[in-house]
Structure 1
Amino acid sequence: MLTSIQNPLVKEIRKLHSSKGRREQQLFLLEGTHLLEEACAAKHLLETVCCTPEWLDRHGKLWEQIGSLADRTELVSEKVLESIATTVQPDGIIATAPRTATAPAEISTLGIALETIQDPGNLGAIVRTAAAANADGLLLSADSADFDHPKVLRASAGAWFKLPVAVTPDLTAAVSGYKNRGMQILATVAGASLTYWEVDLRVPTLIVLGNEGSGLSPELKSLADRQIQIPLSRNVESLNVSIASALILYEAQRQRSQSM
């Protein structure tokens, strides 16, 4: 059992707390039982998995599944686990997994495109909502928060493994490609003349949302077939981008359920 926080493995895992470390090692962190359950369900390959003896006593069956996916498994002390965790009170297990090239998000009926989303909590919440609302996939600009940031994974509550996502260096070109295939492009813009419930969301639609502070770039706005807004009280400036995405996605679900 590993008991020293000076152990070379412990030091290498701690580097994954930073974007630079994840990029250099081409690995990311999975923290907590629920994320490991979802990783196993998705048959996602793991590199190193560390758990405490107390965790192992409670989750023997899950540990067997993890063993079939992991290159290395280690028992560690509570002190070691706390040193490699990004959370204050880890629940007993942490894993590293290889970064993989993101496959194109095959969007045919409903999707989300996100430009320069900076808050990993927002990004994870959007992933969770998009998966729950039966979106086909998500396009993410490369200048957004890391898609495999620990906070993104936690905020997604396991939906990270269920929603196809493509990280693209040229989001405008990617959105333009969907437009050329006949998909309706909707841009969320404060002050737009249409509310989100006034457009037909039953047709194949890509919803484009922008940065938390500055919104969408002029290039993406110009691609939109329609610009839409979420009405707000006069004394409220804006909604959180994850809430905005949820409202529009579920309006799409409402319209589509009524047309069945």
Structure 2
Amino acid sequence: MSTPLAVGNSRVKEARKLSRRSVRTERRLFLADGPKAVEGALSVAGCVVEVFATAQAREQHAALLAGVEVTLVDDRAMDSLSDSVSPAGVVAVCRPVDAPLERVVEAAPRLLAICADVRDPGNAGTVIRTADAAGADGVVLAGQSVDPYNAKTVRATVGSLFHLPLALEPDPVAAVRAAQHRGLTVLAADGAGEVDLFDADLTGPTAWLFGNEAWGLPDELAAVADHRVAIPILGRAESLNLSTAAAVCLYASARAQRS
């Protein structure tokens, strides 16, 4: 058995640099931390560049890593590669999986999630995971949204980052227009919307437009959508957070499209 690489090893050091966005952008590489993320990455052809694992994790996840060339590292080296409080012992260096917006919308999607200026890694990752669970055909991170390859975002997707198409679009209006051009009705999730979610027609191809966690959707962006839809608040809660609102809307569409 080869000697596990230590924290000072040059390969470990180079991989650790991918914790910085500037390095991820320059190298077009990122880290997938944990067995679910690594499993998802391994399911995408050509995505995984290298897998690091501790000896214990390689044994524990033998089925996952069967046939995979694994670089053994010691516990300190793994701690340096993972930003988890309790590292699972397996991390993969991966190539980005995002696709051009045009390719995502040209695939005749029936359900999309468009996130505009979503800054929180946990929220972005949870929306991607929820979209995957609801059977959506893709997610668009638009505007000044968080880097989807941020370690916290990747972890929050629990592998869903690798399951459905993802597009990055600097211009939220362009994302909305692209969806509309392909025949999707764009619905802006807006607490002040003129359409109640319970009354909305969700049977056709739909793209949900979600805004920033703190200030929601700017009026000028919401105006580009076909309708503004409000989730009814039936109790005394002031509002729903972004990821919860996304789950409600996406599953409402999924149910309507399956009925």
**TM-score, L = length of structure 2:** 0.90
Alignment equivalent of 2:34, drawn from 29, 32, 35: 32
Superposed structure 1 runs of 4+ greater than 6 Å apart:
none
* Structure 2: runs of 5+ lacking an equivalent: none
Give yes or no for contact 2:114–2:175 (8 Å, CA) kept in 1.
no
Structure 1 spans left out of the alignment, 5+ residues: 68-72
Instruction: From the superposition, tell whether residues 78 and 181 of structure 1 become closer, same or farther in structure 2 (CA, over 3 Å).
Output: closer
Structure 1 residues 99, 252: closer, same or farther in 2, change over 3 A?
closer
How far apart, in 2, do the equivalents of 1:25 and 1:181 lie?
A: 33
Q: Distance in 2 between matches of 1:12 and 1:90?
A: 19
Contact 1:3 1:79 in 2 (8 A): no
* Alignment correspondent of 1:165: 166
State the shift of 1:59 in Å: 3.2
Offset at residue 217 of structure 1 (A): 2.3
Matches within 5 A, 1:67-86: 67=69, 73-86=70-83
Contact 1:86/1:150 (8 A) holds in 2: yes
Q: Which residue does 1:92 correspond to in 2? A: 89
Partner AA of 2:17 in structure 1: K
In structure 2, distance between residues paired with 1:57 and 1:139 = 37
Where 1:197 maps in the other structure, the secondary structure is helix
1:253 matched to 2:238:
no
State the AA in 1 paired with 2:249.
I
CA RMSD of aligned residues (A): 1.9
Counterpart-to-counterpart distance in 2, 1:92 and 1:101: 26
Q: Give the partner amino acid of 1:79.
A: R
Alpha-carbon distance in 2 for matches of 1:201, 1:65: 44
Deviation at 1:132, TM superposition (A): 1.1
- Paired with 1:52 and 1:163, the residues of 2 have a C-alpha distance of 29
**Distance in 1 separating the partners of 2:175 and 2:47:** 28
AA in 2 matched with 1:32: G
User: Shift of residue 167 of structure 1?
Assistant: 0.3
- Report the CA distance between 1:130 and its aligned residue: 0.7
Secondary structure, aligned partner of 1:105: helix
SS at match of 1:65: coil
From 58, 61, 74, the equivalent of 2:60 is: 58
Q: Is the 8 A contact 2:47 2:97 kept in 1?
A: no
SS in 1 for 2:223: helix
> Higher mean Cα deviation, 232-241 or 154-163?
232-241
Q: What is the CA-CA distance between 1:63 and the residue it aligns to? A: 2.6
Residue 30 of structure 1 aligns to which amino acid in structure 2?
A
Q: AA paired with 1:164?
A: P
TM-score by length of 1: 0.89
**Residue matched to 2:115:** 114
Query: What is the letter of the counterpart of residue 12 of structure 1?
Result: E
Separation in structure 2 between the aligned mates of residue 184 and residue 151 of structure 1, nearest angstrom = 31
Match runs of 1:1-260 below 5 Å: 1-67=3-69, 73-100=70-97, 102-103=99-100, 104-106=103-105, 107-232=108-233, 236-258=237-259
CA pair 26-182 structure 1, distance change in 2 beyond 3 A: closer
Alignment-mate amino acid for residue 88 of structure 1: V
Instruction: Please give the alpha-carbon distance, in whole angstroms, between the structure 2 residues aligned to 1:111 and 1:126.
Output: 11
- Structure 1 CA distance for aligned equivalents of residues 172 and 234 of structure 2: 31
Q: 1:63-117 CA deviation, whole Å, 9 max, x = no partner?
A: 33333xxxxx421111111121111111111111123552332353111111000
Q: CA 1:257–1:100 in 2, change beyond 3 Å: closer, same or farther?
A: closer
Deviation at 1:3, TM superposition (A): 4.5
| Percent of pairs with identical residues | 34
Structure 1 residues 187, 157: closer, same or farther in 2, change over 3 A?
A: same
Paired residue total: 253
**Paired amino acid for 2:79:** E
**Which amino acid is 2:219 matched to?**
P
Rate the CA distance shift 1:19–1:142 in 2: closer, same or farther, 3 A: farther
Q: Is the 8 A contact 1:40 1:65 kept in 2?
A: no
CA–CA separation in structure 2 for the residues paired with 1:159 and 1:100: 11
